[in-house]
Amino acid sequence: MTRVLITTVPAAGHVRPTVPIARHLVAAGHEVVWYGGRRFRPMIERTGARFVPITADLRFDPDGDALESTDGDRTGGGIRGLRAVVHDIFVASIPAYAADLERHIDAVAPDVVLTDHTFMASPLLARRRGIPTVVFALGPLAVSSIDTAPFGTGLAPSSSTLGRLRNRALALLVQQVLLRRAQSAARRIVAGMGAGPFPGFFADWSLYLADRYLQAGAPEFEYPRSDLPRPIDFIGITDQKGVDHFEPPAWWTDVERARASGVPIVVTTQGSASTKHGQLLLPAVEALAGRDVLHVATTVTREPADVLPADRRPVNLRLERFVPFTELLPHADLLVTNGGYGGVQTSLSFGVPLVVAGRTEDKMETGARVRWSGTGVSVDADQPSPAALGRAVDRVLADGSFRTRARRFRDVYARYSGAATAARIIVDTATAAGHRRTVA
C-alpha cells in the first residue's frame, strides 16, 4: 500500500480533474489524504480519500473557489490579467500554504505527494523532507521554450530565426518587466524555505521540483518544443463520468428529439469560476435566439432564474445550473466556452468543435491552441458581442473541417487511459523512491 497526499488549489478546475485519480488510487487499495478547500469536501470524500481542510490565512477565501477572487474587470486579459492572478493566488500564497500544510505532511508521512502545478508550497515542503513529488499540470503547457512566445501572450509558436528572436525578446520583457514582481517574490519565498535556488523563470520551477510531471491533454494539442528540459507524461483527460450525480432534467427529451431530427445542439458554459454571466452566457443566448439550434446553457455559479428569468428566455434555450459534460457533450455539435482548459479537453475527447471566448488566467492560451489545432474559432474577447458569437457559431457549424479535426482528437484521446495512467505513475514514483532509500 502507498500513502498518497494530494494537494490542490481550492478551485473547481483544479479539483475536479484530480477526483478520478484519487478514485483509482483508493480502488487499488492505496491510502489517500487530500488537502483542499472545504467547499469541495463532499466531492473529495466520495473518492474514498480522507479530507484535510485548508485553514491557511490567505488573501482569498479558501472555502470558495480561489479563482472567483480574481476580478476580471480589474485584472483584464493576457499578461496583465495573468500577472495579478499569478502573484496574488499562486505566489504570494506559498508561505501561508506552507505553514498550514507542514503539520499535515508530518502527520500523514506520505510516500509520495501529488500536487497541481500551481500549488508550489507542496513540492517545496516535500523536497525539504525527501518525499517524491508528482506534479499534475491542469492547464496548457506553460514551460518556457525558444520555440514559443511567453505563456499568456496568446501568440502562435514559431521556431524560425525571426520567430525565435521574437520569443526571446518577449520572454525578457515578461520575466524582467511584466512579471518581475512575481519572479522576485518567488525567489525570496523559496530562499526563505531553504529550497532552491532554481534556474530561470519561476513558472518552470515545478519541473525541477517534480520527480514526474503529468500533463493533462495530448502532445497533438500542444506546441512543439525542441528544448524541453525533461520528459513530460501526457495522460489525456481524466474521465469525470460519475463525479456528479446526474438525473436528466425534464427537458432532456428535447435533446433526444433534436439529435434524431438533425437540429444542431449548441452548448454554452460560462465556466466554474466566473460569476459574470453577461460576459459570455447572455451574449450567446442573444446570438442564438431565433436560430435553428437547440441551445443548452449552464449557469454553474448562480441559479438560472437569477441569471435569466424564464419569461425572458428564447424558445430554443434550455437553461440549467449544471449538467455534467460527460452526459451532455456526446450529444452536442458545438461547445461555446470561456476557454477553461478542462472543458475544452473534454469537448475534444468527444469530438466536439469549439467557439472559445476568454482572455483571463490561462484562457487566452487555451484559445490560441484551439486556433492552432484547427478545432474551433477563438473570438479573443472576454465579453464578445452577440454578433461576433453568432458569426463564430455559424462558421464552425457550416465548415466541416472543424468537426473533422475535433474528431481526430477524439481518436487521439481514446489512446490514453488518463487517471489509470496517472495512478500508476504516482505509485511507481513512490516505489522507486523507496527502493533508492533501501539501497542507500
**Could you report the per-residue pLDDT of 192-227, keeping only the tens digit for each?**
888 878 888 988 998 888 999 999 999 999 999 999
Q: Is residue 266 part of a domain?
A: yes
Q: Are residues 40 and 183 in the same domain?
A: yes
The answer to whether the CB of 296 falls within 8 A of the CB of 320 is yes
Q: What is the pTM of this model?
A: 0.89
Mean pLDDT of 109-123: 94
Q: Residue 71 — pLDDT band, cuts 50, 70, 90?
A: very low
Query: Do both 268 and 213 map to the same domain?
Result: no
Residues 175 and 152: their CA atoms lie apart, in Å, by 12
Q: Do residues 187 and 210 both lie within one domain?
A: yes
**Does pLDDT of 302 surpass 60?**
yes
Q: Residue 439: which pLDDT band, with cuts at 50, 70 and 90?
A: low
Specify the residue for cell string 512543439. Answer: 224
Range 394-411 average pLDDT: 97
**Can you give the pLDDT at residue 67?**
67
Confidence of residue 72 (pLDDT cuts 50, 70, 90): very low
Higher pLDDT, 76 or 267: 267
247 located within any domain = no
Structural domain contains residue 241: no
Q: Are residues 21 and 67 in the same domain?
A: yes
CA max distance for the chain:
72
Res. 185: pLDDT tops 70: yes
85 and 174 share a domain? yes
Same-domain check for residues 137 and 118: yes
Task: Give me the CATH number covering residue 219.
Answer: 3.40.50.2000
For residue 245, is it within any domain? no
Residues whose CB falls within 8 Å of the CB of residue 58, separated by 6 or more in sequence, listed in order: 93, 96, 97
Given a cut of 80, is residue 81 above it in pLDDT? no
State the Cα–Cα distance between residues 165 and 146, nearest whole angstrom: 8
pLDDT band for position 70 (cuts 50, 70, 90): very low
Mean pLDDT computed over 262-278:
86
- Reported as a pLDDT band with limits 50, 70 and 90, residue 159 is very high
- Whose CA is closest to 224, among 269, 158, 273? 158
Place 43 in a pLDDT band, splitting at 50, 70 and 90.
Answer: very high
380 pLDDT above the threshold of 50? yes
* 185, 91 contact by CB (below 8 A): yes
pLDDT band at 246 (very low <50, low <70, confident <90, very high): confident
pLDDT-wise least confident of 60-74, 130-144, 400-414: 60-74
pLDDT of residue 77: 55
Bigger pLDDT: 134 vs 440? 134
With respect to residue 243, please indicate whether it lies within any of the assigned structural domains: no
Average pLDDT, the chain: 90
Look at residue 21 and tell me whether its pLDDT is greater than 80: yes
Q: 75 pLDDT band (50/70/90 cuts)?
A: very low
Are 71 and 114 part of one and the same domain?
A: yes
Quote the CA–CA distance of 298 and 321 in Å, as a whole number. Answer: 5
pLDDT for position 391? 97
153 and 204 belong to one structural domain: yes
In a 13 Å sphere around the CA of 179, the CA atoms on its Cβ side amount to 30
- 322 and 202 in a common domain: no
d(CA 344, CA 361): 15
Q: What does the DSSP 8-state code read for residue 89?
A: I
Domain tally, the chain: 2
Mean pLDDT, to the nearest integer, of 395-399? 97
Query: Nearest Cα to 209, choosing from 321, 295, 85, 121?
Result: 121
Residues 230 and 257 in one domain: no
pLDDT of residue 194: 84
* Residue-number span of the structural domain to which 363 is assigned: 252-413
Q: Are residues 112 and 231 in the same domain?
A: yes
CA dist list (Å): 46 to 17, 42, 243, 329: 14, 6, 9, 24
Q: Which three cell numbers stand for residue 247?
A: 438525473
Q: Of 203, 199, 186, whose CA–CA distance to 150 is shortest?
A: 203
With respect to residue 244, please indicate whether it lies within any of the assigned structural domains.
Answer: no
* 337-360 per-residue burial string, b: 16 or more CB within 10 A, e: under 16: bbbbbbbbbbbbbbbbbbbbbbbb
Distances (CA, A) of 261 to 294, 334, 393, 397, 398: 11, 16, 20, 16, 17
Are 75 and 120 in contact by the 8 Å Cβ rule? The answer is no
pLDDT tier for residue 266 given thresholds of 50, 70 and 90 = very high
Return the pLDDT at 300.
86
- Assess whether 163 and 261 both reside in one domain: no
Residue 166 located in a structural domain: yes
d(CA 278, CA 280): 6
Q: Does residue 287 lie within any of the structural domains?
A: yes
Cβ(122)–Cβ(209) below 8 Å: no
What does the pLDDT look like over 318-370, one tens digit per residue? 999 999 999 999 999 999 999 989 999 999 999 999 999 988 778 899 999 99
